[in-house]
Amino acid sequence: MSLTVSRPNINNKFRITPKALDIPVRLLLGPGPSNSNPDVVAAMNRQPIGHLDPAYLDLMDEVQAMMRYVWQTENPMTLPISGTGSAAMEATLANAVEPGDVVLVGINGYFGNRLVDMAGRYRADVRSISKPWGEVFSLEELRAAMEEHRPAILALVHAETSTGARQPLEGVGDLCKEYDCLLLIDTVTSMGAVPIFLDEWGVDMAYSCSQKGLSCPPGSSPFTMSERALQKMDKRQTKVANWYLDISLLRNYWGKGRTYHHTAPVNMTYAIREALRLVIEEGLENSWDRHQKTAEQLWDGLAEMGLGCHVPKEYRLPTLTTVKVPDGVDAKAVTSKMLADHNIEIGNGLGELGGKVWRIGLMGYNSQPENVDRVLAAMAKVMAEI
Amino acid sequence: MSLTVSRPNINNKFRITPKALDIPVRLLLGPGPSNSNPDVVAAMNRQPIGHLDPAYLDLMDEVQAMMRYVWQTENPMTLPISGTGSAAMEATLANAVEPGDVVLVGINGYFGNRLVDMAGRYRADVRSISKPWGEVFSLEELRAAMEEHRPAILALVHAETSTGARQPLEGVGDLCKEYDCLLLIDTVTSMGAVPIFLDEWGVDMAYSCSQKGLSCPPGSSPFTMSERALQKMDKRQTKVANWYLDISLLRNYWGKGRTYHHTAPVNMTYAIREALRLVIEEGLENSWDRHQKTAEQLWDGLAEMGLGCHVPKEYRLPTLTTVKVPDGVDAKAVTSKMLADHNIEIGNGLGELGGKVWRIGLMGYNSQPENVDRVLAAMAKVMAEI
């Protein structure tokens, strides 16, 4: 029986005829994605190779080593997750949480709430402490919460993309060790751009993304786990409740065994490898200093325009600035007009800060003085026009 | 207090200095990834735009429509998952399975076993029926198993990448409706290359990948769910036990609400949009016919060399051929030498078929007569040399 004979008629309802790809050129100064370094997107314009090809295995080793450098950790279990930042976020909880574990989450923005949601899906006993969006937790507040909740895992957001606040982490790792607790940190908006010392700070698990400080498209997301965190995973009574993100399987692919788990996003690996190489070429401290300097230029320029920042300077992230929307100004009208008339993307406020702030990102490749000039000039023009 | 003053010393242990990216040019005729169409990888060499940019929202609509065409389904809930094929596989089970649901899996290869593993992690009551690797299930066998197990979900692999067998699906959807069961299908190695009529066949959930029949790098993976499957999801007593893959959230981003869920892998969307556009340009039936014709050329050429196929022609996939390794030949020595001397990747056998077969893929852009000539000539040379 020929296949052709038995075929039903083809349904052409969705046979659209799209035109050639035509992507507008945007300056992405919102909460992310940020623009990529042109060398990074060019790196993807290559044929894939097999995920077990000896040449690919070499790339994997290089990517792992460079992530360790940028995060300042010696954790062997440092690898990119095959998805965007939220997948790496979920990987930390999926692997470390067993049903019933107490997970204490610090909520001072949108991503704290997401950690609560995710941890609950892995059947953690989720507890939380909260601060108004834009504030950070003191070591004393964290100690009091540890004393009350005695968690197995403390989860904090180092760089809250929704608020622009930087959570200081000095001393938190020691506190966690004192309470026999793992420390889990969100570095999505800080990796590569803001000083991070995972080992020095005693961080056990961290995740990030590719499309901010690393100047790479989204789709390959740094993940790391300390020996202490791996020991907890290895004592699990149940399988990790997520196959794709199961580190107990993935470590056999990323480690010496090189056992096939899932097909890697090969061209994204080309991209993040190039992105990490460029951070090393610049030097980590030089990248941090550049981000700080460019941000200060933005803050000074905003002040000259009479615009204030939501977060006190001491805790303000250089990567993401929340700018107070003046009374009577329609925040969304400004962002829409910035995109439509100037091809510049800046972000609206999220959650508690919706309508109250704009979010201006200066991350990775985009952290350059000329971009500060461009965004300030465009904002002045748009605000005069609306 | 300046940040610089309080910084610990930088650990330069992992400050490697990798050379410029230098990827060998391989002809990927294994189980996947396959080579990409050059226009598809070129499409990624662009700056990302925001995942809520109006231009990006248009791309999303186009990708959804084209996936429906290639799969021959009108399911509104058809979208790419932000990961590789295994993530889309897990998305089907994560959303449809509630703890205690009976999930019946047909195991006749490696990926049936993976479905069992994944379903168990979502606390399904997993049952299975098995066939030797390379065989397929008859409608009578499936009916008997449905009668015995009364599953909520029947999961079958349309195109088993580990065996090269094509599972016929005519009549299976009607059987599932008779038993009030959802039909879940793996089309990883068939989408775009082998006739698929999801709606005609009564399939409720399916998943695929980008790097085979669609000639795109891995990292953006087709997923679809019927109205019946969505109804089951909407009646859940518990949240979907996977945040990143939760369709009840993702549908608000892919649907009219356009509510932010996670950052999309933007440049992978450029790539799969171009890949789908090229399938439409060729025409779905023309693509199917090309794959069949190229595969028959391979099978004829293998026969001339005295090499047999593991799967009877009636059920043999055009995309992936399992070739019997002759007695006394070291299968892995041949694949290693094919790669080292000829830059051609073919696959080794997996599981039950380890050492017994080679796996030759002719998928998407690679399904061309000259590639058949190349692989046959290289195999003849290598087998004469070892």
Query: Mean per-residue pLDDT for A242-263?
Result: 96
Tens-digit pLDDT profile for residues A352-369: 999 999 999 999 999 999
Report percent pLDDT > 90 for chain A.
97
Sequential DSSP letters for A352-367:
GGTTTEEEEE--GGG-
For residue B184, pLDDT beyond 90: yes
* Closest residue in B to A49 (Cα–Cα): B26
Query: Mean per-residue pLDDT for B288-300?
Result: 98
For residue A305, pLDDT beyond 70: yes
For residue B97, pLDDT beyond 90: yes
**Annotated binding residue A26:** no
Is the CB of A345 less than 8 angstroms away from the CB of B53?
yes
Contact by Cβ (8 Å): B197, B48:
no
Nearest chain A CA: its distance from B232 CA (Å): 19
Query: Mean per-residue pLDDT for B349-378?
Result: 97
Q: For residue B378, name the pLDDT band (cuts at 50, 70, 90).
A: very high
The confidence score (pLDDT) of residue A356 equals 98
Contact by Cβ (8 Å): B92, B244:
no
Tens-digit pLDDT profile for residues A41-100: 999 999 999 999 999 999 999 999 999 999 999 999 999 999 999 999 999 999 999 999
Report the distance separating Cα B324 and Cα B306, nearest Å. Answer: 10
**Nearest Cα residue to B118 out of B2, B222, B16, B242:** B242
Is the CB of B218 less than 8 angstroms away from the CB of A266?
yes
Report the distance separating Cα A44 and Cα A42, nearest Å. Answer: 5
Q: For residue B194, name the pLDDT band (cuts at 50, 70, 90).
A: very high
Q: For residue B3, name the pLDDT band (cuts at 50, 70, 90).
A: very low
Pick the CATH number of B27-33+284-385 from 3.40.50.300, 3.40.50.10490, 3.40.50.1820, 3.90.1150.10: 3.90.1150.10
For residue A3, pLDDT beyond 90: no
User: How many DSSP H helices and E strands does chain A contain?
Assistant: 14, 14
Query: Mean per-residue pLDDT for A128-152?
Result: 98
Chain B interface, best mutation among A267, A313, A317, by max B CB count within 10 A:
A267
For residue B2, pLDDT beyond 80: no
Nearest chain B CA: its distance from A79 CA (Å): 14
Q: For residue A5, name the pLDDT band (cuts at 50, 70, 90).
A: low
Write out the residue limits of the CATH 3.40.640.10 domain(s) in chain A: 38-280
Report the distance separating Cα B344 and Cα B373, nearest Å. Answer: 12
For residue A338, pLDDT beyond 50: yes
Q: For residue A7, name the pLDDT band (cuts at 50, 70, 90).
A: confident
ipTM: 0.96
Is the CB of B239 less than 8 angstroms away from the CB of A120?
yes
User: Residue A324 forms beta bridges with which residues?
Assistant: A357
Residue with tokens 């014709």: B293
* Closest residue in A to B119 (Cα–Cα): A243
The confidence score (pLDDT) of residue A355 equals 96
* Closest residue in A to B239 (Cα–Cα): A121
Q: For residue B7, name the pLDDT band (cuts at 50, 70, 90).
A: confident
Report percent pLDDT > 70 for chain B.
98
Chain A interface, best mutation among B1, B25, B27, B46, by max A CB count within 10 A:
B46
For residue A2, pLDDT beyond 50: no
For residue B5, pLDDT beyond 90: no
Specify the higher pLDDT residue, A261 or A1. Answer: A261
Nearest chain B CA: its distance from A305 CA (Å): 26
What is the CATH number assigned to the segment(s) A38-280? 3.40.640.10
Write out the residue limits of the CATH 3.90.1150.10 domain(s) in chain B: 27-33+284-385
Coil, strand, or helix at residue A315?
Answer: helix
Query: Mean per-residue pLDDT for A251-266?
Result: 95
Q: Sign of torsion, CA B253 B257 B258 B263?
A: negative
What value, to the nearest 5°, has the Cα angle with vertex B318 and ends B317 and B322? 60
Query: Mean per-residue pLDDT for B310-339?
Result: 97
For residue B4, pLDDT beyond 90: no
Residues in chain B: 386
